[in-house]
Amino acid sequence: MLAAVGGVTALLSWCIYKVISIPGSTEHIHSQADIETPDIEDD
Partner 1 sequence: MSGTNNGKEAWGSRIGVILAVMGSAVGLGNFLRFPGLAAQYEGGAFMVPYFVSLLILGLPLAWVEWSLGRYGGSQGHNSTPGIYLAVWKNRIAPYCGVLAIIIPVMIYMYYVYIEGWCLAYSLRYLFGHMNYGADPLAYENFFCDFVGIEGDGAALSTPGVGPFGSAVLFTVVCFIINFILIYRGLSKGIEWFCRWAMPLLIVCAILVLIRVLTLGTPDSKLPEQNLLNGLGHMWNFDVTSATFRKSLCNPQMWLAAAGQIFFSLSVGFGIVITYSSYLRKNDDIALSSLTASAGNEFCEVVLGGMIIVPAGFIFLGKAFVENPPSTFTLGFVTLPNVFNQMIFGQAIGFLFFFLLFLAAVTSSLSMLQPAIALLEEGLGLRRKASVAMLGFITAVGAAFVVYFSKGLLALDTIDFWIGTFCIFVLATFQVILFGWVLGIDRGFEELNRGAEIRIPRFVKFIIKYVSPTYLLVIFGFWVHQEFFKVSETPDKLTRLQQIRESSVVQLSLGFIVAVFILFVLLVSQSTKRWRAADQTKKEVAS
Q: How far is the CB of 31 from partner 1 (least distance, A)?
A: 4
Q: Please give the Cα distance from 43 to 37 (Å, whole number).
A: 10
Q: Is the dihedral of CA 26, 30, 35, 39 positive or negative?
A: negative
Residues 1-40, one symbol each (x = binds partner 1 by CB under 8 A, - = not), give: x--xx--xx-xx--xx-xx--x--xxxxxxxx--xxxxxx
Residue type, 10: A
What residues line the site for partner 1 (CB under 8 A)? 1, 4-5, 8-9, 11-12, 15-16, 18-19, 22, 25-32, 35-40, 42
